[in-house]
Structure 1
């Protein structure tokens, strides 16, 4: 067996003052979002019996945030950690001016901006939590 030689860029390991391009150079930007005091978008999912210890007393779990991006992201993270389903790809992302969605579709504008946004979120959540009751609320 031969040993692999790892090469590290000099700027990543060079000892010296904290300057741009050196390891440890970090400048936090200003906080852009205000702290969340109340969720404006929520998805309530009734969990299966085996996950009830993680649920509210009524057997459901609510994912909430200031927008649907946070809701689907936190629901996907939960499904990935606590279920054994094949988790679909992340909800969507923009690449080179086009939106790419979890269901292999593309659009010019975000599907979360239109009147069918709740339908798209519900379809995604049904893939994350098959055969579960899902209730969405948008209070924006």
Structure 2
């Protein structure tokens, strides 16, 4: 089950833009409320402006809903990214343990010997190439 993080800090630039836009929108909506209040004394231009402001208010509400969805999605992605980073760190730790175990010295006939991963890879590759050559000759 995935956890959802909703209290994620959105990058500062988005917060600044949002606050600035909210200020402008709120001023326009206050003007809308003022026009709505004195509705019977409106000129034709003010009536058109009132209609446009009503559309703006509807659109603003839609954008606010979309913004909250994006904020939640950002939180989920942030969580998943941190989870992947944690898993990657665990895998890196396991890999380093495996490599250290391979590079440890082993006792072979009373002599200590270090296992070199690259030379082992080369040996396997040469063996495989000889195997393929034999198979082609048959």
Q: TM-score, normalised by structure 1?
A: 0.19
Q: TM-score, normalised by structure 2?
A: 0.19
Structure of greater relative contact order (alpha carbons < 8 Å, 6+ residues apart): 2
- Higher share in helix: 2
